[in-house]
Structures are given as C-alpha cells and as structure tokens.
Amino acid sequence: MATSTKIWITPENTGVFCTANLSLASARKVSEVLQHDMENHHIYLNEIQFHAAAVINGQKDHIVHFMLTIWALGASPETIQLQYEREVKRQRPAYPRDEKVVASFSDKDEFMKYMFQEEHYSNYLAFFQREIAAKGVPAVMKDYLFGGDKLAESLLSRMFAGLVHPIIHLGFGIEFQQPAIIAQALAQASVHQDYLSDQFFDLASTAAAASSYSAKSLMQIMKEMRADETVRNASRHGDTDVFEDGILKRASETIIHHCSKWSVPEDKIPERLAEMINTAIYWTATAQNPEKKLKLDFFFIHTVNLSIFFKAFMELPYIETPVKSRLLEMKGRMDLLIWASRKMPEPQVDDILNYPIHLGWPEVFSKSYLHPSDDGHLAKFVRTVAFAEKLSHSYETKLDSDIFPVSGDMWLKIGNMAVDTAGVIFSDIWVRGAGFAEPWAKFGPRR
C-alpha cells in the first residue's frame, strides 16, 4: 500500500492515460527505483538555484517524472532499470534531516523563514510526509496549497516556479495516487522562489476581475499578443531569468493585460481544460524555423507535459469548483507567459499537416522511452499528445479551429514528429527558444 513514506505502484495505478496490460513486474520495478530515489537523492542536481537559467541546463531530478511516464507507456522492468541507472549517475545525495527544523515547521511563520533554501528540501519532505501520515492528503492539500492564507498562496505560486516542475511533480503524485510523491512536490515547491504571485498571478487576477470584456480563447489571445509590438520586443535572447529579469521587467502591464483575458467560468471547466491542452500542443508543435530542421522547443514542451495532470486535478473531490477554476486560469496564463518569453514564433501549421505518419502510437511510445539520452521529457510529451487526442474526441462535432486547432490525424503526426526530431545527444534533443534566431544556429537546414 502506498503511504507518505512508501511508493507502491500496482497495475491498477493506471493514471489518466496508459497503454493496455501494464505488468506487475514493471510495477514492482518502478516502485523499487522510485523508493531508492526518494530515500537517497536531492531534488536538484547541483547547487544552482532552480530559476529559468538552471532549467535550461536541466538542473533537476526528473526521475519520478521519467519512471512513472515510461511505466504508464508500457516499459519493461529491464527498460525501467536501464533508464534509472543512466539517470541515477547524475543525482546528488540528499541532505540529512534536522529534526529541530522539521519540528519548527508546524509554525507557519517558521515554515516560511526557510523557504527558497535548497538545503532544507529534506526537512520539508520529512514535514510533509508526517503531515500526510497524520491528516491525509486531502487535508494537507486543502491547508497548505488551497487554504488561502499567506503560506498557501505563496506555496501555490511556487508550484509554477522552476518552469512548472513542482506542479508537474504534484501531478504525478495525484494521478498515480502516491502520497509520498505529493509530499515530495510540496517540499520541492517550498524550496523554489516566489515572485510569480505578486508580479504576475495576483495582478492578472485583479485585471481580470476589473475588466468588462468577454473571455477569449487562448488562440485569440495569442493572435493579439503576437500583433502587439510591446510584447514582441519584451523578450530577449540571453536573459538570465526569462520572466523576472525579462518580459515581466520590460512589459509587465501589457503582458498581464493580455494574459488576464484567459478566464475559466465554473460551468466551462471541461471545455476550457480541453482547449488549454489542445492549444499548448498546437503552438509547441508549430513553433518551427522554416529554414531549419524540425525541433520542439524545450520551454514549450513543459506547458504540454503539465497539461495532462489537469484532468486529474479537475476530478479531485476535495477541491471546490472555484479553486479548480482558478487553478486552470493560472495554468493558461502561465502558458501564455512562457510562450511570450520565447518571442512567440509564427505558427508553421503546414509542418504538422504535411508530416508523414510512419509509426503508430505503440511505436511512438517505445521510441520515446528507449531514447538513449533524454531524461523523460520526450516520453511525457508523446503521452500527453496521445491523451489529448482521446480527450478531444468528445469535441469532434463542435471543433472550432480558433479554439481547438489540433484535430484528426494531426495528433499522431505530432507524435511522429516528436520522436523523429529528437536529437540523439542530450544537447541536440530540443531547441531552446524557438522564437529567437540564436538557438537555431547550431541546427542544419531543411533538405
């Protein structure tokens, strides 16, 4: 049984999307390696603080994301072990716990004093493991993430920091019903920086509440943002932190004005969820340089890879509907912020429409999790695309290309594109900033 200190996956832990006939042997293997990871490793790969610059260099333990994704896609025990052994070589050992500090976290003011200090990750993990053991996941989530007090608001914002890695981690814990992974996610968010709350999320919420215009689709908002010269000129290649020192520094008011136009009425959550996932996949797949080989953008794929978990978030019985609406609004606005930070490349939709399908989904999945140097981003991406295809089926009769731009066989074409274009060596898997010329320079021309 899964507990706050024990990871235990079974073939019944299928999540929101998986392949058929998941094996008990693979379940045992993934449980084993994730338990080893939790007990022995830090959440960072090195001492670089996990801001956007660190994300570019991949300074993060992605083992949980990697192992659970390839488990869901049908990887064998041997493949899980092989990929774990490759990734484990890069990990840092965990810091020892300080029981005095852990005990002090029961005082929320003391809790907040230690936030954004990576040496306290083990202490936060121990604290949340014990809180979940004593109170259960619903009570801890409602208190520390959705409680509305100063700590909860800060922790919720920090979930979207570090290029949304903490909330991706939370999504895996929720989707696969693993209290220990939920504890890891809460601890991870605790050692991330919080500037998004007062510099972005709060301001966007205030602007949305004060506006009189009708809500717009993400595709409409993106079209307006791309036409806005202020937004186009706000992002610059080489920014150390692409948000705080980049577009939010140069064009905060304009960026927030546009992002606030994305809203989620409580009675439209299912439709907005499908729209959010569809749009993220569209602008990630179409963010190409017409003169260069096809590549997916490293920043953009994170908006896609997070998307799948919102299906699980929206189905949580202990989260109230207004909270779900707000959470989905935060996701859509964060997507727009990330997209704007990479200079909003003009969509090259023909690159999808003309892409040949030579692999079915089973072959796409296996090619993704057998990649020799990727750390799970590729497998996460194709799993989300396959899930989105399934989710979008219920909207086939009312598809509007201005709201749901991906349809028909475009899903499988994007899956084929993803595994075909991922470079073999780690540094060539993705382009890192698709709207700028500089990241494309090292890639060859199209034939």
Please state the domain extents for the chain: 24-194, 207-440
Question: Which residue is associated with the tokens 């003309």?
Answer: 354
Percent of the chain with pLDDT over 70: 95
Q: CB-hemisphere CA count at 13 Å for 222?
A: 29
Residues composing the chain:
447
- pLDDT given for residue 398 in this prediction: 67
Q: Is 2 helix (H, G, I), strand (E, B) or coil?
A: coil
Burial class (CB in 10 A: 0-12, 13-18, 19+), 350: exposed
- 380-412 confidence digits (pLDDT tens): 999 999 999 999 888 766 667 788 999 999 999
- 180-196 confidence digits (pLDDT tens): 999 999 999 999 999 99
- pLDDT given for residue 48 in this prediction: 45
- 114-132 confidence digits (pLDDT tens): 999 999 999 999 999 999 9
Between CA 18 and CA 22 the distance in angstroms is: 8
- pLDDT given for residue 103 in this prediction: 98
- pLDDT given for residue 212 in this prediction: 75
Question: Contact at 8 Å (CB) between 446 and 292?
Answer: yes
- 22-54 confidence digits (pLDDT tens): 999 999 999 999 999 999 998 886 544 443 333
Residue 89 has pLDDT above 50, yes or no: yes
Q: Give 149's DSSP letter.
A: S
Between CA 13 and CA 246 the distance in angstroms is: 41
Between CA 29 and CA 104 the distance in angstroms is: 36
Residue 217 has pLDDT above 90, yes or no: yes
> Strand (E) positions, 156-315?
none
Residue 98 has pLDDT above 70, yes or no: yes
Between CA 147 and CA 168 the distance in angstroms is: 20
- pLDDT given for residue 245 in this prediction: 82
Q: Which of 195, 212, 207 is nearest to 253 (CA)?
A: 207
Residue 56 has pLDDT above 50, yes or no: no
- pLDDT given for residue 16 in this prediction: 95
- 236-293 confidence digits (pLDDT tens): 998 877 898 889 999 999 999 999 999 999 999 999 999 999 999 999 999 999 999 9
Burial class (CB in 10 A: 0-12, 13-18, 19+), 364: buried
- pLDDT given for residue 266 in this prediction: 97
Joined tokens for residue 313: 């978030």
Question: Which residue is associated with the tokens 């999790």?
Answer: 369
- pLDDT given for residue 2 in this prediction: 97
Residue 69 has pLDDT above 90, yes or no: yes
Between CA 230 and CA 252 the distance in angstroms is: 10
DSSP string of 14-66?
--SS--SS--HHHHHHHHHHHHHHHHHB-SSSSSS--SHHHHHTT-S--HHHH
> Strand (E) positions, 261-353?
none
Q: Is 93 helix (H, G, I), strand (E, B) or coil?
A: strand
Between CA 91 and CA 89 the distance in angstroms is: 6
- pLDDT given for residue 214 in this prediction: 75
Question: Contact at 8 Å (CB) between 140 and 132?
Answer: yes
CA 59 to chain centroid, in Å, comes to 15
